[in-house]
Amino acid sequence: MKNSNCIFCKIANGEIPSSTIYEDEDFRVFLDLGPAAKGHALIVPKEHYANIYELDDALCSRIFVLAKKLAVHMTEILHCDGFNIMQNNGAVAGQTVFHFHLHLIPRYKGDTAGICWNPGTADAEGLRRLAEELRV
């Protein structure tokens, strides 16, 4: 299913041009317009899923295999020093485009990408209880 109001549906399906580095039947991978670092790319399914909660399981299982393949390939070409792979769900988590996408962000020593969080604190008992609550 495509969403006619969604910019990533249009890019993924070729209605809007993009700097594509990979394409197959289900995905397009293109360079981010506001790169955190040189080579920042997005893996985008051609079908519309707003976020990971909606994402089709079969596509989900293929995405990380594709991410690994591209991370290896991009690292060889860009000679980056590290790599972030990240994915935001919901505005509170930093999602700004509500069509599922996985960020591939090459990292370079001294770059200004600044992808981080402030570590909090936790006590052992609190962690034990929470783990119990969350155990699948």
The residues annotated as belonging to the active site are 101
49 lines the binding site for ligand 5GP (CB under 6 A): no
| DSSP class per residue in the chain | ---TT-HHHHHHTTSS---EEEE-SSEEEEE-SS-SSTT-EEEEESS--SSTTT--HHHHHHHHHHHHHHHHHHHHHH--SEEEEE---SGGGT--S-S--EEEEEE-TT-------------HHHHHHHHHHH--
Q: Which stretch binds ligand 5GP (CB under 6 A): 44-52, 68-76, 95-103, 105-113?
A: 95-103
32 binds, among Zn ion, ligand 5GP, none (CB under 5 to 8 A by kind): ligand 5GP
User: Which of 14, 82, 90, 94 touches ligand 5GP by CB under 6 A?
Assistant: 94
112 binds, among Zn ion, ligand 5GP, none (CB under 5 to 8 A by kind): none
User: Which of 23, 26, 32, 111 touches ligand 5GP by CB under 6 A?
Assistant: 32
